[in-house]
Amino acid sequence: MNLNLLFQLAVSGFLMGGVYSLIALGLSLIFGVMKVINFAHGEMMVWGMYVTYTVFLWTGIDPFFSFLVSAAVLFILGYLLQRTIVNRILDSPEAMQVLPLVGMAMVFENSARIIWGPDYISPQSRFSLSSLSIGNLMIDVPRLLAFSLAIIITIIVLFFLKKTDTGKSIRAAADNRTGALLVGKDINRIYAVCFGVGTACVGVAGGLLVPIMPLSPHIGAPFTMISFIIVILGGMGSLTGAMVGGFIVGIAESIGPELITGLFHGISLGLDFPNTMKQVVSFLILIAILLLKPQGLLGGRR
């Protein structure tokens, strides 16, 4: 096995992990407050990607600035989605909560296909192909930028939740819905804002991914799955857990295929574990965590 290559992959996975954390943060926030799983999370991220891409196409503003437009658009989408659909299913049995959001995932995925076409697009922005080298290590500049911005946005979201009035209301509603109602909070508005913030997170992540990976309407579902895995790994509703899980999954996906191929060759099996199967690594992590510690690494009670 090539240690240098593994290290390279680990760094690149770590950087990707920053973006994963942000995606999972959105999902975890929504779950923590409303106990609803947003099955349309990845598809909404794809909308974030396309919004940023469209702004880039029309005005030439670099995706690393125009991701803010995605955040705004996705906040509005999330707010409306909560008001129209999610709010009606909050007290339904879990089965009935899953299906409408799966339905919305189909709506988002296929409307993106109708609006922006079915083909893969990779926009060339200013930083697209540049890279830094530190010793033997090569670092993609877009990845580094996406990572740094994702971390900054994550900190802003956490700050918003800790310090602002709305953020405090959201946390209050998460802790005790009836209590928040009793002290006169408009719980429906808080829920809608919270859902909006959650989807805005994923919108930002989508915008940041535009320079890193090609866009297509159908790449959403794997991201929905990855964000679930991260949230379950970190512990449902735990925001710190979502961040830690994001890095673990990012690194595991990046080095997993190489590591397993090395393992196969080590025990003289002529098998390869291609990079296109990297999702299997995350699914194996999911199965392992569901069986060993279903409450997640940092989760408390379930």
Which DSSP helix (H) or strand (E) runs through 274? none
Pick one of 29, 37, 74, 170: the residue that binds another protein (CB under 8 A). Answer: 37
Residues 302 and 299: their CA atoms lie apart, in Å, by 8
Residues 100-119 that bind another protein (CB under 8 A): 100, 102-107, 109-111, 113-114, 118
Least Å from the CB of residue 180 to another protein: 24
Pick one of 232, 233, 244, 260: the residue that binds another protein (CB under 8 A). Answer: 232
Hey, how many other C-beta atoms are within 10 angstroms of the C-beta on 276?
8
**Three-state secondary structure readout of 201-225:** HHHHHHHHHCCCCCECHHHHHHHHH
Least Å from the CB of residue 249 to another protein: 13
Residues 188-217 that bind another protein (CB under 8 A): 217
Query: Does 221 interact with another protein (rule: CB under 8 A)?
Result: yes
Query: Does 297 interact with another protein (rule: CB under 8 A)?
Result: no
The alpha carbon of 23 is separated from its chain's Cα centroid by a whole number of angstroms, namely 2
Query: Does 288 interact with another protein (rule: CB under 8 A)?
Result: no
Helix axes 41-59, 187-209, angle to 10 degrees: 60
Residues 203 and 22: their CA atoms lie apart, in Å, by 10
> CB of 281 within 8 A of CB of 227?
no
Selected range binding another protein among 16-24, 179-187, 196-204, 275-283, rule: CB under 8 A: 275-283
Hey, is 197 helix, strand or coil?
helix
Q: Which is nearer to another protein, 6 or 225 (CB)?
A: 225
Query: Does 178 interact with another protein (rule: CB under 8 A)?
Result: no
Of the candidates 177, 286, 186, which has an alpha carbon nearest to the alpha carbon of residue 236?
A: 286
3-state DSSP percent of the chain in helix, strand and coil, to 5? 75, 5, 20
Query: Does 90 interact with another protein (rule: CB under 8 A)?
Result: no
Q: Which is nearer to another protein, 63 or 241 (CB)?
A: 241
Q: Which is nearer to another protein, 206 or 217 (CB)?
A: 217
Q: Which is nearer to another protein, 7 or 283 (CB)?
A: 283
- What residue ranges bind another protein (CB under 8 A)? 37, 85, 88-89, 92-100, 102-107, 109-111, 113-114, 118, 217, 221, 225, 228, 232, 274, 276-277, 279-280, 283-284, 286-287, 290-291, 294
